[in-house]
Amino acid sequence: MHLRTIKIADLTTPNNVFLAPLAGYTNAVFREMCLSLGAGLTFTEMVSAKGLCYNSKNTEELLYVTPKYSGIKACQLFGADPEYMRRAAESRFVAPFDLIDINMGCPVPKIFNNGEGSALMQDFARASAVIKACKAVGKPVSVKFRIGLNDKNIITADFAKMCEDSGADMITVHGRTRDKIYAGEVNFAEIERAKHAVKIPVIANGGIFCAEDAENLMDKTGADGVMVARGAMYSPWIFAEITGKKVPDKRALIKKQLDDTLALFGERFALVFMRKMAAFYTKGKRGSSALREKLFTCDSIEKLSEMIEETEF
């Protein structure tokens, strides 16, 4: 894959292989780990603008950044009300972040039915107002969206141009429609159309589970970079594989993730979260089904640490 820096307004990323915002997964420890493995940019989980405006403690916690994090700090906000988005973007919670990403692609019904996420793809005027509201804060702004709601409503190029005209400094295009969720083939041609429609950087997203997938996505879309989503949940070392870095000892890496998660979030969260992550990391391995059963009945950090030590990743 052709590695290059990406210029997002006045920011410059070290490479063009990014970690997607993943609800429930891209917490501070996971982002720091992916950065160390080679990710050029990482994003927080999507955060509710209204939640920030109402000082939601849970929402605020999603924006925690470890003191050791050395990369560009990027948060993802979601919301459909320009005023709430502006207030969230200029809040003290978002103040430490260098880049604001706007979620206009989430397909989850409760988000969509509230007019947020991918619902904004059917309302260009409101989507534009949201981008302008965030941009007014003075920080670089990016937008993540899908190619359309369904195959009869493909809007990629037009939506990309609207984002650019509204002030977006970068876009990420997930090459599936909203109704496909995360299934089906990625539409390379539509991502390519977005690339031809704008002058700002275009990042391609969808279907990356190995270095070959990343290279294929770049070659077939002409995008400026790629964003890895579920592939990072199954093997965060994918960033090292794509960027040509040495893949570290996986067992030691996962144990460090466990220790750091425990130190930051406490035992209850660390046990539940890291059981889930260890199960992802063993996907496709021999005997993984039986191993996952053991993982999900593991009732202590000590036992989980022992299981990680004994597992081949």
Rg from Cα positions in the chain: 19
**CATH class, 6-243 region:** alpha beta
Q: What is the pLDDT of residue 312?
A: 83
How far apart, in whole angstroms, are the C-alpha atoms of residue 161 and residue 164? Answer: 5
Q: What is the pLDDT of residue 288?
A: 76
Please tell me which residue in 34, 75, 106, 163 is annotated as part of the active site. Answer: 106
Question: Has residue 75 got a pLDDT over 90?
Answer: yes
Q: Give residue 286's Cα distance to chain centre.
A: 29
Question: Has residue 310 got a pLDDT over 90?
Answer: no
Q: Which long-range CB contacts under 8 A does 180-189 form with residues at least 24 apart?
A: 181/107, 182/229, 182/230, 186/217, 187/147, 188/217, 188/220, 188/221
Q: Which residue has the tokens 């947020």?
A: 116
Domain boundaries, the chain: 6-243, 250-310
- Beta-strand ranges (E) seen in the chain are 6-8, 11-13, 17-19, 41-48, 73-78, 99-104, 141-146, 170-174, 202-205, 225-228
Pick the CATH number of 250-310 from 1.10.287, 1.10.1200, 1.10.3470, 3.30.160: 1.10.1200
Q: What is the pLDDT of residue 173?
A: 98
How far apart, in whole angstroms, are the C-alpha atoms of residue 257 and residue 163? Answer: 36
CA angle 208/10/124 to nearest 5° reads 65
Task: Calculate the average pLDDT of the chain.
Answer: 95
Q: Which residue has the tokens 């270095």?
A: 211
pLDDT in tens, 52-61: 999 888 888 8
Q: What is the pLDDT of residue 59?
A: 86
Is 106 one of the catalytic residues?
yes
Question: Has residue 207 got a pLDDT over 80?
Answer: yes
pLDDT in tens, 136-172: 999 999 999 999 999 999 999 999 999 999 999 999 9
pLDDT in tens, 91-126: 999 999 999 999 999 999 999 999 999 999 999 999
Q: What is the pLDDT of residue 289?
A: 81
- Per-residue pLDDT, averaged over 57-66, amounts to 89
Question: Has residue 286 got a pLDDT over 80?
Answer: no
Instruction: Tell me the three state secondary structure of residue 107.
Output: coil
